[in-house]
Amino acid sequence: MIDFTEEQIERYSRHIILPEVGGEGQSKLLEAKVFMIGAGGLGSPIALYLAAAGVGTIGIADADVVDMSNLQRQIIHDNERVGVMKVESAKQSIEKLNPDVVVKTYPYRIDADNVREIIREYDLVIDGCDNFPTRFLVNDACYMEKKTLISGAMFRFDGQVTTFKPHEDKEGPCYRCLYPEPPPNGLVPSCSEAGILGALAGAVGTIQSVEAVKEILGIGQSLSGKLMTFDALRMEWKKLRLRKDPACALCSDQRTIFDLVTYEQACELPFGK
């Protein structure tokens, strides 16, 4: 267990007094290394809560710069940082919040050439990206590198969160068990032009943070095998069963995918038009 400084004991006191966390759990958090894809709507609350919780190392990948239209929901950035790389802005906010956290920035797109090497350094991966090709790439890479993946997505008023860890949970599905391959162009929403209720990102991203902290602490029930859905208009959360596909091309006995696949971005007519 880490020797806490007095400041750390005070900072993390509300964690440390929880029997499920304690000094031991707080040490685990400080020693944890989490990699996040996206420093946007979901990445903002995720990074802030993980930083506040004292997750010791946070890696963040995002190739974009802060745009004025992001500020309606991407609360890790601010007015003065419009035009700044998102990863740089996120790093500044995290360091202001908690100097215990080491932030590593990856100001470029995650692709088939870099993803496995990057995630190898981390204990846990959190996906908050905005497109299907990256979701499949990250899923496959996490399976190959045996990393737990906490996945969150949102669209307009809907959110979805789940955890994939087929390497640990024999019954646990991967993203391809849920969706075998990306939808063809034009059939589902994936465009960044789509509207989104700002605070929805907070609801979904915060659930991902809770899941990440629990995963690091090893407490409670995991979302592996369950899809949590949130309908903000109905104000309703649901938990649906996700099963391992016995014919999954990645994580089943009938595996056919052994190398990372690069898909083209599908971004045309949204699903609901």
Among 10, 13, 121, 239, binds other proteins (CB under 8 A): 239
Stretch that binds other proteins, among 76-84, 107-115, 123-131, 141-149 (CB under 8 A): 123-131
Pairing between β-strand 33-37 and β-strand 124-127 as defined by DSSP bridges: parallel
Nearest CB to Zn ion, comparing residues 48 and 250: 250
* Nearest residue (CB) to other proteins, 14 versus 170: 170
- Name which of 52 and 197 has its Cβ closer to other proteins: 197
Angle at 177 between CA 174 and CA 178, to 5 degrees: 95
192-221 residues near Zn ion, rule: CB under 5 A = none
Please state whether 83 falls in left (phi above 0), alpha (psi between -120 and 50) or beta: left
- x/- mask, other proteins, residues 183-212, rule CB under 8 A, reads x---xxxx-x-x-x----------------
91 binds Zn ion (CB under 5 A): no
In the complex, minimum distance from the CB of residue 189 to Zn ion, in angstroms, rounded to a whole number:
23
Which of 61, 137, 251, 266 binds Zn ion (CB under 5 A)? It is 251
Using CA atoms, how far apart are residues 5 and 9, in angstroms rounded to an integer? 6
Residue 114, exposed/middle/buried by CB under 10 A (0-12, 13-18, 19+)?
A: middle
Among 14, 96, 170, 273, binds other proteins (CB under 8 A): 273
Sheet holding 226-231, edge to edge: 102-106, 57-61, 33-37, 124-127, 148-155, 158-164, 226-231, 236-241
99 CB burial (10 A radius; 0-12, 13-18, 19+)? exposed
Map residues 24-43 to x or -, x wherever contact with other proteins holds by CB under 8 A.
-------------xxxxxxx
Short-list 202, 207, 194, CA closest to 237: 207
147 token code pair: 């990393």
Residues that bind other proteins (CB under 8 A): 37-43, 62, 64, 127-132, 135, 152-158, 160, 178-183, 187-190, 192, 194, 196, 227, 229, 231, 233-234, 238-243, 245, 270-273
